[in-house]
Structure 1
Amino acid sequence: MKNLEIAWTLREISDLLRVKGENRFKVRAYNNAARSIKKLKEDITTLRKKEVLTEIPGIGENIAKKIEEILDTGRSVYLDELREEVPPGVLSIISLPGVGPKTAGLLYEKLQFKDLSELMVLAKDGRLRDVPGIGPKTETNILKGIEKLKKNMEHVPHGLARVSADIIFELLSSFSLISRVSLAGSMRRGKDMVGDVDFVAASDNSHKVMEILGEHPHIRELDIFHDNRAKAFTNLGTKIDLQIVKEDKFAAVLHRSTGSKKHFQQLSALGNKKGINYDGNSILKNGKEIIVSDEEGIYSAFGLPYIDPELREGAGEIEAAKNNSLPDLVDIHDLRGDLHTHSTWSDGHGTIEEMVQEAVKMGYSYLAITDHSQSLAVANGLTVGRLMEQWDEINYLRKKYAPFLILRGIEMDILRDCRLDYEDEILAKFDIVIASIHTGFEQNKEAITERLITALENPYVDIIAHPTGRILGRRPPYEVDMEKVIEKASKLGKTLEVNSSLDRLDLNAAYVRMAKEAGVKIAINTDAHGKTGLRDMEYGVMTARRGWLEKNDVLNTLDSQELLSHLSRNRVGVR
């Protein structure tokens, strides 16, 4: 937990510096440090004792001293000073459409709002357009953005919930009083935003289990609602729901607690036709209880094959199971490489060689280095001259690590006016080109959609990255006609991305399934900015599975030669 707290502190410093308009390199330094610490596998207090803080990628002496201060005192004087300089309401709105740091400061100066709710009232009253530079269109976009953010306030991103889930799972798994324990609910189904973290445990001593749970330092508050059920709140604000049952009820309760309400209703309706009564606690057939030891046994009682947790949304999986047409879901071991990664050449904190070494260690066959393009100055985007220098390094490393394949790639910005960030004569020299939007989120649906479609129509663009631009819990998706984008990608044989970063998980599962049905290939990538980020692939796979993807639907399940042939096919007649 300490790692996450430090990362959050550094991220807030970065955000506040950005609001103040500070030097972009300073802003990026704190952001990279936060990202690096968030990905650490070892506790930062241990690294401090070893006196190796400055060996963490992105941590220099100055930031290391601030980390030590936080560890010693529980606070950062520098952060406190920044908070004094930047009004609290400003930081909460800089991710809204049409609101950058300058606009946020101006809105606060003129309207003196306290929070999002107050700004929402002002927007509904038409008061925002009284501020210079804010017209009716921008006001409407801001209001829509606030409504989307407020809608998600009762839920937290999967990544944040995962921190608490891992801590509590490790605790419960260590209890000798518990024979079995499992995640359940929306976390187990892999939803990108979750209300609470559900657990089901098997034990004969529920009171003792809940007593020990309530004493854990990660638990802020524990409420016991029934003899076998408790709700808890963690120090991170995550809600925990623990249900403790007898061993012989574990499978049924776990199943009921995992699937959505629709999934359970559809399964129960099927059971009624077969003379089966299933209440989520026990299964009765002709009045006699069927004892099951696992979830496979539950589905078998209904005459169905096992349905993976990610599919249990009541979205056609029961019918598919009846017809024996469930997808053979993609598995993380099917992936042969990562096609979206960054290095120290732009805003990453791992060298190309470090990224390659980690990919080799993971058993991959290839890795695409896709640093940012020249217009994204805040991310140290590559000019054409720097590209040539980077390619010299890649060519050297290709020889050193052969037969491992290192692809010369780029994450190229799609500019506001639909132009791409490099001319075609440069794009033709890349092995792989990813296009994405990093600016102009406030544009309307037609403009954003046109930008993405224009990029797809370029013969050198292979993949559209994080296609809806969302940052979970912080920035809503921009307005875009994804059906139109998917249709164009299908027509042109282009690929869309599932970005595995826990901040994004973009495309979402619904669009992934829509893309599959349209015959569009999906690339599951990490967008890693350091070697530990390459391990985030499991979350992209989780989202892909929720979208019913199979191995053949995923671009980076191809081997090296198949991948190169596919990329070349998109360029037939062009080079």
Structure 2
Amino acid sequence: MPSDNEQIAEIFDEIADLLEIEGDNPFRIRAYRTAARNLRALNKDVRRMREAGEDLTDFPGIGKDLAAKIEEILDTGRCRALEKLRRKVPPDLGELLRLPGIGPKRVHALYHELDIQNLEQLQRAARDGEIRELSGFGPKTEARLLEAVEKHRDSERRFKLAEAARYAEPLQAWLEGGKNIEQVVIAGSYRRAKETVGDLDILVIARDGRQAIQHFTHYEDVDTVVSSGSTRATVILSNGLQVDLRVVPKVSYGAALHYFTGSKAHNIAVRRIAQKKGWKINEYGLYEGDKRIAGETEASLFKQLGLAYIEPELRENRGEIEAAREDKLPKLIKLTDLRGDLHCHTRASDGQGSLRAMAEAARDRGLDYLAITEHSKHLAVAHGLDSDRLLKQVDAIAELNDILDGITLLSGIEVDILEDGSLDLPDEVLDRLDLVIGAVHSQFNLSRKQQTERILRAMDSPHFTLLAHPSGRLIDKREPYAVDMERIIHQAAQRGCYLELNANPDRLDLLDSHCRLAKEEGVLVSINSDAHSPAAFEHLRFGIGQARRGWLEKDDVLNTRSLTALRKLLKQTRQ
């Protein structure tokens, strides 16, 4: 099962959303959001804490009231406060919150001022020009909301990769513990490390198919069994994620794995290669007439077709077939190739860990160096650092480096790129740092030309090292801002600075296509966790998946270098 911490955090987030829609006390709302954030940052499970006799009120942000709710959820799986709130608001309001660019405050205004309770009413109000009349909205916001509704209604529900992983990995472990099950793999878009997942396709080899299916359908997080047979079953998990399981024979395992991994476009391209040879390929194997000539492993399929093995993340029919035929596939980066992380936050701004805690957590992940990059003063909501606070942190980092073993801290800043392209802190302060990460955190609605010129001017700063989360998107919450990414990447190549692949699962930004373009232009990419807590270095694995989808190799990534080599590269960015 997913951790108790995550489930309780989701409940507290929903309570905060509903309280905000109701216009409740902002301090009460903030208490729930803080508790949810702290629960996710905690390195141990609250259930085990309670069983060990620990007082939950000792945990930051948890008072007696919230501790009592945690106890209730642990004991019953329910929260009466949440159920009461759900009864007070229309049931479809929560669907509005899933639209990009609309949060609880805007839902509050739409509901209380226009009595909008669902997507259909929102769509109609936007078409009728009613939303633009509300304070804080306007014609552009109205148009974006209308577009978001139409996109949402046309698409299936999808889950961010990290959310899918929280449910997929415990389920995989449960299946691997089955007595008759010999092998388990999750296929589909999950295996290809897509940013979002519609459902899960799981393949197993089992000595007894019916027992394997029974073991699967009795998993404790299964909410509904849709179908169940001797070799396949479909269930819906408690979070609404559909899971399809297939029991396949060992002799067809590779063919089935290739077929159900996809993508559809890749599979069609492979099928055409087989057809040109007079063969056929399906989920059971590769056949010449009635004779199976390959299929027990994926490697046997590719070899028989005259192709090098193609990693799952590349299977999108975007040149991987041709590269495999010519033996020119990239040797994709692995998580173990990373030597450091160049973007994280501590309690000094909006993080949850101390300098030492973040350093030790990074070291425990096998990293050799970690850049501390708080927000700058312009981002007041994140308690951004002014010059004095930043310089004090530089001194604190130097002192800590004197006593740390096994890891080195670098001093940096995630400095706001202001609307005119200037940086949020003076040059003489930035000059004291090991690296400067520039980031856009405001004015997302500038024109494509304005946004591009803004970023290009920032990159011309002699202190600029790295562009953070370059498109500014938040998956399913905020669309990328309009920017000419080709010009940005070309300028980075000319200027000699770098681009970030932000591994936070809500961002995964650079896009995979832009990773590939950066590679072609010779621009190094830094895969960073953007960790706000010691546990969040886990994000790096999702960044690696995105990098692999973008064809990146070890040498294409800045933070695969040793600390000595990295320092030389950072120095070169200073003009």
Please say whether Structure 1 and Structure 2 have the same fold, judged by a TM-score greater than 0.5. yes
Cα deviation, residue 281, structure 1: 1.3
Which residue does the alignment assign to 2:415? 412
Cα distance in 2 between the residues matched to 1:36 and 1:20: 24
Cα deviation, residue 51, structure 1: 3.2
Which residue does the alignment assign to 1:157? 160
1:552 aligns with one of 551, 555, 560 = 555
Cα distance in 2 between the residues matched to 1:417 and 1:19: 35
Which residue does the alignment assign to 1:50? 52
Structure 1 SS opposite 2:505:
coil
Which residue does the alignment assign to 1:505? 508
The answer to whether the 8 A contact 2:394-2:433 is kept is: no
The answer to whether the 8 A contact 1:524-1:540 is kept is: yes
1:211 aligns with 2:214: yes
Cα deviation, residue 418, structure 1: 3.7
- Superposed counterparts of 1:236-255, under 5 Å: 236-255=239-258
Cα deviation, residue 334, structure 1: 0.9
- Superposed counterparts of 1:335-346, under 5 Å: 335-346=338-349
1:223 aligns with 2:245: no
Which residue does the alignment assign to 2:9? 7
Cα distance in 2 between the residues matched to 1:277 and 1:21: 62
Cα deviation, residue 125, structure 1: 2.5
Cα distance in 2 between the residues matched to 1:65 and 1:377: 33
- Superposed counterparts of 1:109-124, under 5 Å: 109-124=112-127
Which residue does the alignment assign to 1:436? 439
Cα distance in 1 between the residues matched to 2:25 and 2:372: 26
Instruction: Provide, for residues 465-501 of structure 1, a one-character-per-residue CA deviation record: whole Å limited to 9, x for no partner.
Output: 2222222233333333323322322222222211112
Which residue does the alignment assign to 1:167? 170
Cα deviation, residue 35, structure 1: 3.5
Cα deviation, residue 161, structure 1: 1.1
Which residue does the alignment assign to 2:273? 270
The answer to whether the 8 A contact 2:496-2:572 is kept is: no
Give structure 2 stretches of 5+ with no counterpart: none
Cα deviation, residue 100, structure 1: 6.2
Structure 2 SS opposite 1:476:
coil
Q: 1:11 to 1:361 in 2, by over 3 A?
A: same
Which residue does the alignment assign to 1:521? 524
1:326 aligns with one of 319, 329, 346 = 329
Please identify, of 157-166 and 105-114, the stretch whose mean Cα deviation from structure 2 is larger.
Answer: 105-114
Instruction: Provide, for residues 225-264 of structure 1, a one-character-per-residue CA deviation record: whole Å limited to 9, x for no partner.
Output: 7642222110011110111112211121111111211111
The answer to whether the 8 A contact 1:28-1:379 is kept is: no
Matched letter for residue 106 of structure 1: A
1:257 aligns with one of 255, 260, 276 = 260
Q: 1:51 to 1:13 in 2, by over 3 A?
A: farther
1:298 aligns with 2:301: yes
Which residue does the alignment assign to 1:35? 37
Cα deviation, residue 298, structure 1: 1.5
1:561 aligns with 2:558: no
The answer to whether the 8 A contact 2:18-2:104 is kept is: no
Which residue does the alignment assign to 2:318? 315
Cα distance in 1 between the residues matched to 2:274 and 2:447: 48
Which residue does the alignment assign to 1:365? 368
Cα distance in 2 between the residues matched to 1:417 and 1:14: 36
Cα distance in 2 between the residues matched to 1:20 and 1:466: 33
Cα deviation, residue 15, structure 1: 4.4
Cα deviation, residue 303, structure 1: 1.9
Cα distance in 2 between the residues matched to 1:417 and 1:83: 44
Cα distance in 2 between the residues matched to 1:23 and 1:490: 50
Structure 2 SS opposite 1:341:
coil
Instruction: Provide, for residues 60-111 of structure 1, a one-character-per-residue CA deviation record: whole Å limited to 9, x for no partner.
Output: 4354344224324544455567668887777665786775665543333331
Cα distance in 1 between the residues matched to 2:93 and 2:267: 44
Matched letter for residue 288 of structure 2: K
Cα distance in 1 between the residues matched to 2:442 and 2:448: 14
Structure 1 SS opposite 2:301:
helix
Cα deviation, residue 443, structure 1: 3.9
Identity over aligned residues, as a percent? Answer: 39
Matched letter for residue 376 of structure 1: L
Cα distance in 1 between the residues matched to 2:250 and 2:474: 40
Cα deviation, residue 315, structure 1: 1.1
The answer to whether the 8 A contact 1:371-1:410 is kept is: yes
The answer to whether the 8 A contact 1:338-1:366 is kept is: yes
Cα deviation, residue 10, structure 1: 2.5
Cα deviation, residue 198, structure 1: 0.9
After superposition, the CA RMSD in angstroms is 2.8
Give structure 1 stretches of 5+ with no counterpart: none
Structure 1 SS opposite 2:147:
helix
Cα deviation, residue 393, structure 1: 1.3
Structure 1 SS opposite 2:537:
helix
The answer to whether the 8 A contact 2:252-2:283 is kept is: no
Matched letter for residue 550 of structure 2: G
Which residue does the alignment assign to 1:456? 459
Structure 2 SS opposite 1:222:
strand
Cα deviation, residue 20, structure 1: 7.6
Cα distance in 2 between the residues matched to 1:99 and 1:154: 17
Structure 1 SS opposite 2:342:
strand
Q: 1:252 to 1:52 in 2, by over 3 A?
A: same
Cα distance in 1 between the residues matched to 2:479 and 2:231: 38
The answer to whether the 8 A contact 2:57-2:63 is kept is: no
Matched letter for residue 9 of structure 1: I
TM-score if structure 1 supplies the norm length?
Answer: 0.91
The answer to whether the 8 A contact 1:523-1:554 is kept is: yes
Cα distance in 2 between the residues matched to 1:255 and 1:295: 6
Which residue does the alignment assign to 2:71? 68
Which residue does the alignment assign to 1:492? 495
Instruction: Provide, for residues 326-367 of structure 1, a one-character-per-residue CA deviation record: whole Å limited to 9, x for no partner.
Output: 001011111110001111111111111011112222222210
Please identify, of 309-318 and 436-445, the stretch whose mean Cα deviation from structure 2 is larger.
Answer: 436-445
- Superposed counterparts of 1:421-432, under 5 Å: 421-432=424-435
Cα distance in 2 between the residues matched to 1:456 and 1:22: 43
Please identify, of 97-106 and 5-14, the stretch whose mean Cα deviation from structure 2 is larger.
Answer: 97-106
Please identify, of 422-431 and 286-295, the stretch whose mean Cα deviation from structure 2 is larger.
Answer: 286-295
Cα distance in 2 between the residues matched to 1:332 and 1:85: 47
Structure 2 SS opposite 1:420:
coil
Q: 1:552 to 1:27 in 2, by over 3 A?
A: farther
Please identify, of 319-328 and 277-286, the stretch whose mean Cα deviation from structure 2 is larger.
Answer: 277-286
Instruction: Provide, for residues 385-413 of structure 1, a one-character-per-residue CA deviation record: whole Å limited to 9, x for no partner.
Output: 22122222111111112673211111122
The answer to whether the 8 A contact 1:36-1:58 is kept is: yes
